Amino acid sequence: MVTVPLSRLEPGQTGRICAPEPGESIPLRLRDLGFVPGTLLLLRRRSPLGDPVELELRGYRICLRTEQLAAVRVELEPSSK
Amino acid sequence: MTAAPAAVLGSGPTRVALVGSPNTGKTTLFNALTGSSARVGNYPGVTVERREGQLLGSEVRILDLPGTYALHGETPDEQIVTRILSGTLEGERVPDALLVVADATTLRRGLGLVREALDLGLPTIVVVTMIDEVKARGGKLDIMKLSRLLGVHVLGVVGHRGVGLEPLRGFLRDPASWPRPRALPRAADAEARFAWADQICREVGADRLEPDTRTDWIDRVLLHPVAGIAVFAAVMILLFQSIFAWAVPAMDAIDATFGELGVVSRAVLPAGWITDLWADGILAGVGSVLIFLPQILILFTFLHLLQDVGYMSRAAFVVDRVMGWVGLQGRSFVPLLSCYACAVPGMMAARTVASPRERLATILVSPFMTCSARLPVYTLLIAAFVPAERVLGPLGLQGLVMLGLYLLGAATAFGSAALLNRTLLRGTVSVFYMELPPYRMPTWRLLLRQVWGSARAFLKRAGTIILAASVILWMLLNFPTPEPNPAFSPAEQTRANVEASFAGRLGHAIEPAIAPLGFDWKIGVGLIASLAAREVIVATLAQIYASGEADDYTSLRQALVSDVDPRTGKHVFSLATALSLLVFFVFALQCTSTIVVMARETGSWRWPALAFGYMLALAWIGSFLTYHAARALL
């Protein structure tokens, strides 16, 4: 089982959000947007200029800057490329 | 009809509040329910729009709360929602009932907010929008079961087609009869709310939808690393072209109409200062307000269209990285581009920048972009003083100077954004996030209503002050009037009148301050007059130089070139003075409309005051350096 910061996910890869390490937390705004542990998400693409990235989770799509993704750890799904 | 009084205590008409996230079709629903009765205002002290309307054929009022992702929000919009629902916003009563709007295709996110709303315990109905898209994507949403699980009425609608609205209207006529939600198992944080939402979605079948292949397909082109940038550039060029060129015929027509009205008034009314005030002050003032309308209408049609079909957020996604370098964000791009036509619609377009910090930065640097009102000033001075030499192949020196002025403006805008980011706005970190909604067909009626709403807001809120400012400036330029001198020709008399006016005296008064920039009192009067609008300096200089017609560039140009200072016997206007004045116009906030709209859009006179001071300081320093460098080098 591999866990990586969300910022390290490659386009086309799927990950499942992990519970944060003790002493860390997922920012409130991201949690309100549905970034809670157990949620499956797909990194769809990077912007043509490399940043931000487009993510799909909970049936909707959202873009975030890579620097904001470091606070979220995901477990890589085996099915992803 | 006016908006509801600000302080409503205790009883009053029954009021239902619409709660929902952005992109859920909440505004479409609000418009469908309230028709044209909606009134737009502002919440006190903030720039958050307050929309309230009356349910058609009923006394019930509907309050469209700003879109929010949570009820403990961080942005000013979201805090308004939180405060209204908790009863802590002065002048706002807690609504009698809630209409919670959620997009049927994204219930696994939307139910998080629904849950927070249910926990408030107010009588509630949940409206699930876009149920047609669920069907189109092979899904099956069991609305009866959802209603049972939530413990409140749930209605499925397709807002823009009116599907399902009749039963909803029936319920809305009598909110007192709605059940209050029953207490649900405790869900104190987002984790618990989404766990609950996932459970519900599994039971009602909201989690089984086929991918939106149409959106996937369009995105493969529009967000393609190469094609995506090409499409972005094409759309922006089209938008630029539309506000720059397509608005011109309408603007010329408005200009001509008000010019004609002035001529007719003078012919009909007796000569005198009241007629002058009417023709040159009031009519011209109304014209100077209406002249913005074509650009505002075209720009906002574009903006709302791009927003409604879903491209706006894609464009922002493409360009975000570049804007991020100076602390702006992708959505700042379109407003700043619009400022090349005019900063007034540009600053209004900054409403599409969701985060307040970036929105403020966008508005504050807007006046640096080279607006079309600077063009007549640039054209006149360049044509008069910059030699028409060729420098690089087909490139002429005049064209290069013009290009340089445009680049200087844009570079200063971006530099100032970076500076703001490191000074005044430092530490106010805002998380950047932006939904990429599915592509959808626009609803034309909604589009027209939104465009008209923007135009009306401009006319009402900014137009009145701009008109007042024009009249005041007219008075400064026309009073007091000296005794007519029979020896003067009409043109000489005009010149004498200007010199004797308050503006003329002001011009003399500020001469010591502007002399280091190479300007004399005549340019000083022009600078004061140009506060009405930058291009007014051309007409004012024409009056002072008594060159006759304001539009007669050739004679004005010659008058400028041959003007001699009576004390020194030297030419007033040299190339150095002209370059200095050009640089002054690049930097200075010489535009009352911009100042007024900036105050309106930021909700305070503090920001335009700051911008005015900052830009004036830059203008003075820039002109000083230019003047002395040019004198030393040329």
Shared domain for B168 and B57, answered yes or no, is yes
Shared domain for B190 and B233, answered yes or no, is no
What is the distance between the alpha carbons of residues B237 and B406, in angstroms, rounded to a whole number? Answer: 16
pLDDT at A79: 63
Report whether pLDDT(B3) > 50: no
Of A33, A51, A59, the CB nearest to B433: A33
Through-space distance between the first and last CA atoms of chain A, rounded to whole angstroms? 15
Place of tokens 């529009």: B222
Through-space distance between the first and last CA atoms of chain B, rounded to whole angstroms? 64
* pLDDT tens digits along B246-299: 888 888 898 889 889 988 988 998 888 888 888 877 887 788 778 878 888 888
Query: Are A48 and B318 an interchain contact pair (Cβ–Cβ within 8 Å)?
Result: yes
- Which tokens belong to B622? 């820039």
> Region B364-372: what's the mean pLDDT?
91
* pLDDT tens digits along B427-464: 666 678 889 999 998 888 888 888 887 788 778 767 77
> Region B175-187: what's the mean pLDDT?
87
**DSSP letter for each residue of B217-262:** HHHHHHTSTTHHHHHHHHHHHHHHHIIIIIHHHHHHHHHHHHHHHH
Shared domain for B96 and B180, answered yes or no, is yes
Shared domain for B206 and B235, answered yes or no, is no
Shared domain for B401 and B538, answered yes or no, is no
pLDDT at B152: 95
**Which of B178, B96, B144 shows the shortest CA–CA distance to B128?**
B144
Among the ranges B80-84, B423-427, B576-580, B609-613, which has the highest mean pLDDT value?
B609-613
Q: What is the nearest CA distance from A59 to chain B, expressed in angstroms?
A: 5
> Region B404-416: what's the mean pLDDT?
93
Q: Which domain holds residue B413?
A: 227-373+397-429
B267 assigned to some structural domain: yes
**DSSP letter for each residue of A12-28:** T-EEEEPPPPTT----H
pLDDT at B245: 77
CATH number of the domain enclosing B119: 3.40.50.300
Three-state secondary-structure class, residue B185: coil
B147 assigned to some structural domain: yes
**Which of B272, B60, B278, B25 shows the shortest CA–CA distance to B171?**
B60
* pLDDT tier, B161 (very low <50, low <70, confident <90, very high otherwise): confident
Chain A CB contacts of B431 under 8 Å are 27, 29-30, 68
B389 assigned to some structural domain: no
**Which of B584, B598, B477 shows the shortest CA–CA distance to B529?**
B477
B447 assigned to some structural domain: no
Domain count, chain B: 3
* pLDDT tier, B491 (very low <50, low <70, confident <90, very high otherwise): confident
B452 assigned to some structural domain: no
Shared domain for B265 and B186, answered yes or no, is no
* pLDDT tens digits along B317-332: 999 999 989 889 888 9
Residues 6+ apart with CB under 8 A from B19: B65, B68, B71, B81, B85, B98, B99, B100, B101, B113, B117
Percent of chain A with pLDDT over 90: 69
Q: What is the model's pTM? A: 0.83
B580 assigned to some structural domain: yes
Chain B CB contacts of A64 under 8 Å are 432-433
Peptide bond into A52 cis (omega under 30): yes
B437 assigned to some structural domain: no
* pLDDT tens digits along A25-64: 898 889 999 999 999 999 999 999 998 999 999 999 999 9
Of B112, B226, B313, the CB nearest to A32: B112
What is the distance between the alpha carbons of residues A54 and B78, in angstroms, rounded to a whole number? Answer: 24
pLDDT at B45: 65
CATH number of A3-76, picked from 2.30.30.90, 1.20.1560.10, 3.40.50.300, 3.40.950.10: 2.30.30.90
**B313: contact with A, CB 8 A cutoff:** yes
Shared domain for B404 and B256, answered yes or no, is yes
Environment class of B195 (CB within 10 Å of its CB; exposed 0-12, middle 13-18, buried 19+): middle
> Region B185-197: what's the mean pLDDT?
91
Interface of A with B (CB under 8 A): 27-34, 36-39, 45, 47-52, 54, 57-65, 68
> Region B375-403: what's the mean pLDDT?
81
What was the ipTM of the complex prediction? 0.94
DSSP-assigned letter for residue B487: T
Peptide bond into B480 cis (omega under 30): yes
Place of tokens 């302080």: B7
Percent of chain A with pLDDT over 70: 95
Of A48, A58, A65, the CB nearest to B225: A48
Shared domain for B184 and B234, answered yes or no, is no
Report whether pLDDT(B550) > 60: no
Rounded to the nearest angstrom, the gap between the alpha carbon of residue B431 and the centroid of all alpha carbons in its chain is 22
Report whether pLDDT(B6) > 70: no
For an interface test with A, give the residue of B108, B433, B440 to mutate (most A CBs within 10 A). Answer: B433
Place of tokens 């200007």: B498
Angle at B308 between CA B304 and CA B314, to 5 degrees: 95
**B389: contact with A, CB 8 A cutoff:** no
DSSP-assigned letter for residue B318: H
Q: How many Cβ atoms sit within 10 Å of the Cβ of residue A4? A: 15
Angle at B103 between CA B97 and CA B108, to 5 degrees: 105
Report whether pLDDT(B4) > 70: no
Q: Which of B210, B245, B272 is the last residue of a domain?
A: B210
Shared domain for B367 and B252, answered yes or no, is yes
Residues 211-230 of B with CB under 8 A from A: 219, 223-226, 228-229
From residue B573, how far is each of B116, B495, B579, B591 by CA, in Å?
68, 18, 10, 24
Q: Whole-number mean pLDDT of chain B?
A: 86
B494 assigned to some structural domain: yes
Environment class of B406 (CB within 10 Å of its CB; exposed 0-12, middle 13-18, buried 19+): middle
Alpha-carbon dihedral B239, B240, B242, B246, rounded to 10 degrees? 180
Report whether pLDDT(B40) > 50: yes
Specify the higher pLDDT residue, B143 or A78: B143
> Region B568-588: what's the mean pLDDT?
88
All structural domains of chain A with their residue ranges: 3-76
**B178: contact with A, CB 8 A cutoff:** no
Shared domain for B360 and B503, answered yes or no, is no
Shared domain for B526 and B582, answered yes or no, is yes
Q: Is the dihedral of CA B4, B10, B12, B18 positive or negative?
A: positive
pLDDT at B8: 42
pLDDT at B552: 55
Shared domain for B232 and B355, answered yes or no, is yes
CB B362 within 8 A of CB B348: no
Amino acid occupying residue B607: W
Amino acid occupying residue B16: V
**DSSP letter for each residue of B118-158:** HTT-S-EEEEEE-HHHHHHTT----HHHHHHHHTSEEEE-B
